[in-house]
Chain A
Amino acid sequence: MTDVQLEQFRKDTRAWLEENCPASMRSTFTSEDEIVWGGKKAKFANPDSKLWLDRMAERGWTAPTWPKEYGGGGLSKEENLILQSELKRINARQPLYSFGLWMLGPVLLEYANEDQKKRHLPPVIRGEIRWCQGYSEPGAGSDLAGLQTKCEDKGDHWLINGQKIWTSYANYADWCFCLVRTDTSVKHEGISFILIDMTSPGVETRPIKLISGASPFCETFFTDVKVPKENMVGRLNGGWEIAKRLLQYERSNISGFGSGARTDVVDIAKQNVGLDEDGRLDDRDLRARIAEHKMFERAYALTAQRAAEEAKAGGNVSHITSMFKVAGATLNIERCELMVEAAGSRAFGWAGEGYSPDELAVTRGWLRSKGNSIEGGTTEVNLNVVAKRVLGLRDTQ
């Protein structure tokens, strides 16, 4: 595409966004309730959220680079960069948060057959179906390939029995993309990737309350669940390759996590520690550690930008996804710890009116951040991936 055409695309995009992005959608989220996850049980805290989602989905711009034939935007990388910069320019909210968009869709595009793509991609793009991920099991967390949930061939259907854990938002999901064991005689080669309708008889979910007081995760039980034959993606026993690819998408997502809290650690420190007559934080050690953290934050952002540019130039950067997952989790956990330290006793509230919503968010964000180095592959597992795939170090024999 020529520069002239791209410039025209920018002009058209800007005009369309001006006209179609509601004013209330041009601001940062103020609470998690305002985030739109879609699905049959979708909640819209603001009617404009629904309008904004529908308008963006109509153009396929919830999935800008997916092919048009499945309802995507069909944009080139260059056009998508322009779209993203125009969205950023007006501080537009992301119209849809979705595991279907971030994790399932990309692997369906790569591994699914035509019928599966036609059936499952458009509802994801429109935010009509919400997906959850059935990966971890009580006995198979970091050692994901040790999973036991059984999937038997019953001729005209699959029969599934077992338990999944850490299924994020399973209680709100319509469908689940799931790893199941189809051959018990081998480990990695006996796993298949299957799509399960959460309304199927025999599916049950229970929320798990975390130390932060929230319940983003569930336990999910499958008892004699019948799944149609056409719901297996890829070949029988070929699920591990799909699973790994999907984890790359997941890790690149989690690594980009924000702190959840809106306030900056420097502001919290200024407010609760105070400044000396030279304008320096009145706790030199904390000041130095915050400066070090700010440098880490900057280095991380610059590296993400560099990787994006290298990817755009055709370089393969998928191998450093695990590096970003580790660094992103470390960064967020460090930030949350510093905020709690800087806030002092103002970070020790749990509920009630003695603490501001921002202060409570610091406390809850800190507790939630502890999951960042566990979910989507622990920091230890991701360091193993970097050591083996990037640095070429071997396993013990």
Chain B
Amino acid sequence: MTFTLSEEQTLLKDSARDFCREQAPVTRFRKMRDDKKNGRDPELWAEMAAMGWAGILVPEDFGGAGLGYVGLGLVLEQAGRTLVASPLHSTALVGASALLLGGSDAQKQEWLPKIAAGEITVALAVDESAHHAPAKSKLKVAGGKISGAKKFVADGHIADLLLVVGGDGLYLVKADAPGVTKRELITVDSRGAADIDFDNAPTEKLNGGAKLVEQVLDRAAIGLAAEMLGQAQEAFEITNEYLKTRKQFGQYIGSFQALQHRAAKMFTEIELTRSCILAALDALDRNADDVSEYASLAKARASDMLHVVSNEFVQMHGGIGMTDAHDAGLYMKRARVAEALYGGATYHRDRYATLLGF
């Protein structure tokens, strides 16, 4: 395992940071929200695709860059910093990796170049109740037709292609296929989502069965954890800056020990979690045997860590933190959704214990 970035990865990270700061700052997210676009910013996604990000995982043969999971994770982290609303996670990570792992040659040929070019977006439809429980899927498939109901599909409202999780494998369904009904959800994090019903919709099964489902969910969890790390890092830096400039009782509030200790603990949690996420991305690139352990480690810790950091973002800013004009609320709302998606801390702790044999 290595934590050292290659020159290529460092360049990718730096260019992602610059792009997000300059082209996709939080003000752009805010405008998207205020314009009631519900997570849609197709111009931004086109710009990101032009940077090559949609194809980071896709091999060069299919029009991508083949830069691996660490590379994509670094970009997701930078995008998380400024709350970029895009299908980067659902398409470039989840969609591309599912097809790479389980697609037939024909399926890869059909979809991967379109993903790499930013021409289509993908969404992963997992949950059938209010909580993440992929093992309890009631999806029915017979004769190439799929039936069932999926709840809170992230980016499901904008996706062209759906990856549908069943107990025995992963299914491809075109979003405009007959029998597919989407109900768009207006969500607290302004990213939007969809409840989707499948009524004898035509489907193709990907290769790999239940194992593929696990592999894809692991990738979804790790990639989201990377995005959450970026959110936490940004939230923490803004908070720390506020502690240094805001005065109360004639003192900088950051000089109060009660706040100093909380800040120091947050810093520690972020650094510890960063190591877990980098290790998880590296495990994916190494195709390691214990990817699932790393995935649950990364997602559980990211969920717990971001929960604290996003709450402190609001609390340490006092009254201003409660206002809509301040960004703290945007981070906290996004945090809660991200914490729960693809399994919250409780789910992944339970899974980790099982994987460790107790």
Q: Enumerate chain A interface residues (CB-CB to B < 8 A).
A: 266, 269-270, 275, 279-281, 287-288, 290-292, 294-296, 298-300, 302-303, 305-306, 309-310, 313, 320, 323, 326-327, 380, 383-384, 386-388, 390-397
* Nearest opposing residue in chain A for B356, CB measure: A294
Which residue, of B4, B265, B267, B272, has the highest number of chain A Cβ atoms within 10 A? B272
Q: How far is the CB of B291 from chain A (nearest CB, A)?
A: 14
Write the B325-356 contact mask toward A (1 if CB under 8 angstroms, else 0): 00000000000000000000010011011101
Q: Which among A266, A287, A323, A397 is the interface contact of B268 at CB below 8 angstroms?
A: A323
CB of B297 within 8 A of CB of A391, answer no
Closest 6 CB pairs between A and B?
Answer: A387-B260, A386-B264, A302-B275, A291-B353, A299-B272, A393-B254
Interface contacts beyond A323-B271, A327-B272: sample of 17 additional A-B pairs, CB < 8 Å, sorted by A: A266-B356, A269-B358, A275-B358, A287-B353, A290-B358, A291-B352, A292-B300, A294-B356, A295-B352, A302-B275, A302-B279, A323-B268, A384-B261, A387-B260, A393-B263, A396-B255, A397-B255
Q: How far is the CB of A283 from chain B (nearest CB, A)?
A: 11
* Nearest opposing residue in chain B for A387, CB measure: B260
CB of B358 within 8 A of CB of A288, answer no
Q: How far is the CB of A9 from chain B (nearest CB, A)?
A: 21
Q: How far is the CB of B290 from chain A (nearest CB, A)?
A: 11
- Which residues of the other chain, A, contact B226 by a CB distance below 8 angstroms? none
CB of A384 within 8 A of CB of B358, answer no
CB of B244 within 8 A of CB of A394, answer yes
| Bound: A340/B275 CA distance, A | 29
- Which residues of the other chain, B, contact A396 by a CB distance below 8 angstroms? 251, 255-256
CB of B240 within 8 A of CB of A299, answer no
* Nearest opposing residue in chain A for B261, CB measure: A383
Judged by DSSP, the binding face of A is helix
Q: How far is the CB of B258 from chain A (nearest CB, A)?
A: 11
- Which residues of the other chain, A, contact B243 by a CB distance below 8 angstroms? 391, 393
CB of B271 within 8 A of CB of A387, answer no
* Nearest opposing residue in chain B for A324, CB measure: B268
Q: How far is the CB of B126 from chain A (nearest CB, A)?
A: 22
Q: Which among A298, A386, A387 is the interface contact of B297 at CB below 8 angstroms?
A: A298
| Bound: A224/B260 CA distance, A | 43
Q: Can you report 19 residue pairs joining A to B where beta carbons are below 8 Å apart? A: A266-B358, A270-B358, A279-B354, A291-B349, A291-B352, A302-B279, A303-B274, A309-B2, A310-B3, A383-B261, A384-B257, A386-B264, A387-B261, A387-B263, A391-B263, A391-B267, A393-B244, A393-B255, A393-B263
| Bound: A338/B348 CA distance, A | 20
Interface residues in B293-328 (C-beta closer than 8 Å to A): 297, 300-301
- Which residues of the other chain, B, contact A269 by a CB distance below 8 angstroms? 358
CB of B276 within 8 A of CB of A299, answer yes
CB of B278 within 8 A of CB of A306, answer yes
Q: How far is the CB of A312 from chain B (nearest CB, A)?
A: 9
Q: Enumerate chain B interface residues (CB-CB to A < 8 A).
A: 1-4, 240, 243-244, 250-252, 254-257, 259-261, 263-265, 267-268, 271-276, 278-279, 297, 300-301, 346, 349-350, 352-354, 356-358
Q: Which among B260, B271, B274, B276 is the interface contact of A383 at CB below 8 angstroms?
A: B260
| Bound: A296/B268 CA distance, A | 11
* Nearest opposing residue in chain A for B300, CB measure: A295
| Bound: A290/B357 CA distance, A | 12
CB of B4 within 8 A of CB of A294, answer no
- Which residues of the other chain, B, contact A275 by a CB distance below 8 angstroms? 358
| Bound: A393/B255 CA distance, A | 6
CB of A313 within 8 A of CB of B4, answer yes
CB of B275 within 8 A of CB of A299, answer yes
* Nearest opposing residue in chain B for A390, CB measure: B267
CB of A380 within 8 A of CB of B261, answer yes
* Nearest opposing residue in chain A for B357, CB measure: A279
- Which residues of the other chain, B, contact A290 by a CB distance below 8 angstroms? 353, 358
Q: How far is the CB of B235 from chain A (nearest CB, A)?
A: 14
CB of B257 within 8 A of CB of A295, answer no
Q: Which among A299, A310, A326, A380 is the interface contact of B301 at CB below 8 angstroms?
A: A299
CB of A291 within 8 A of CB of B254, answer no
CB of B272 within 8 A of CB of A303, answer yes
- Which residues of the other chain, A, contact B297 by a CB distance below 8 angstroms? 295, 298-299
- Which residues of the other chain, A, contact B275 by a CB distance below 8 angstroms? 299, 302-303, 305-306
- Which residues of the other chain, B, contact A287 by a CB distance below 8 angstroms? 353, 358
- Which residues of the other chain, A, contact B2 by a CB distance below 8 angstroms? 309
CB of A281 within 8 A of CB of B353, answer yes
CB of B4 within 8 A of CB of A384, answer no
| Bound: A269/B297 CA distance, A | 21
Q: How far is the CB of A153 from chain B (nearest CB, A)?
A: 38
| Bound: A28/B123 CA distance, A | 51
CB of B349 within 8 A of CB of A288, answer yes
* Nearest opposing residue in chain B for A294, CB measure: B356
| Bound: A303/B254 CA distance, A | 26
- Which residues of the other chain, B, contact A320 by a CB distance below 8 angstroms? 271
| Bound: A298/B4 CA distance, A | 19
| Bound: A269/B358 CA distance, A | 9
| Bound: A296/B352 CA distance, A | 12
* Nearest opposing residue in chain B for A292, CB measure: B349
Q: How far is the CB of B238 from chain A (nearest CB, A)?
A: 13
Q: A266-B358, A394-B254, A396-B251 are in contact. Are A386 and B353 (CB under 8 A)?
A: no
Q: Which among B251, B259, B273, B354 is the interface contact of A280 at CB below 8 angstroms?
A: B354
CB of A300 within 8 A of CB of B244, answer no
Q: How far is the CB of B70 from chain A (nearest CB, A)?
A: 13
- Which residues of the other chain, B, contact A299 by a CB distance below 8 angstroms? 272-273, 275-276, 297, 301
Q: A287-B353, A309-B4, A395-B255 are in contact. Are A323 and B267 (CB under 8 A)?
A: yes
